[in-house]
Amino acid sequence: MKNKIVLASANEGKAREFRAILEPLGFEIVLQSELGVVSPEETGRSFIENAILKARYAAEKTGMWALADDSGLAVDALNGAPGIYSARFSGGDDKSNNAKLLELMKNVPENKRTARYYCALCLVKHKDDPVPLTVLASWEGSIGYKEIGSGGFGYDPLFMVTGRHCSAAQLPPQIKNLISHRGRALSALTYKLEHNYI
């Protein structure tokens, strides 16, 4: 029997990544949007705060275990921006966000284009769970000069992966799921789930 977890998101790209990793472990992932739940306003000042807020809200609205992700890109030359505002950096769609990032980075030299993705995950058993399970992971890279690749979503076509000569959008999904910020966070979460939480 599969354990159902509501994913506090309407993002099908994230859902694919979560399902690929969690379903083999016996968890069925249901998007909150499939249950008519709309995301709350993200009022936290960190990825962890926003993940906790979203998980508690989804658990309250559905009565189910809830898993929330708050992820984003932090660019060193931009003092960590777009950060927690990554999804709504320039109007809320990937194309606009990528165009704005390229414009802001157009005069930044290669050695100053370092960046990292962050992923904060929070799992709660119910809305008042006194011990939410949280993890934070990162993925090092740099910002490219143009969009490359068609896979992934968000800033993936601009995110050049450290140690590989490609963008995140060029990685096969099975590789990305192993080495990305979300993959690393999910790995840490599944370890905690298997050893401490069930």
Q: For residue 9, give the 3-state DSSP assignment.
A: coil
Q: 148 near 157, Cβ under 8 Å?
A: yes
- 163 known ligand binder: no
Q: Does the annotation list 42 as a binding residue? A: no
Output the DSSP codes for 87-148.
GGTTSSSHHHHHHHHHHHHTT--GGG-EEEEEEEEEEESSTT-SS-EEEEEEEEEEE-SS--
| 94 annotated as belonging to a binding site for a ligand | no
Question: Is the Cβ–Cβ distance between 6 and 12 less than 8 Å?
Answer: no
Query: Using an 8 Å Cβ cutoff, are 191 and 123 in contact?
Result: no
Annotated binding-site residue? 113: no
Q: Is residue 41 marked as binding? A: yes
Check the annotation: does 181 bind a ligand: yes
Q: Does residue 10 have a known ligand-binding role? A: yes
Does 197 appear as a known binding residue? no
Catalytic residue numbers, as ranges: 70
Annotated binding site for substrate: 9-14, 71, 153-156, 176, 181-182
Annotated binding site for Mg(2+): 41, 70
Annotated binding site: 9-14, 41, 70-71, 153-156, 176, 181-182
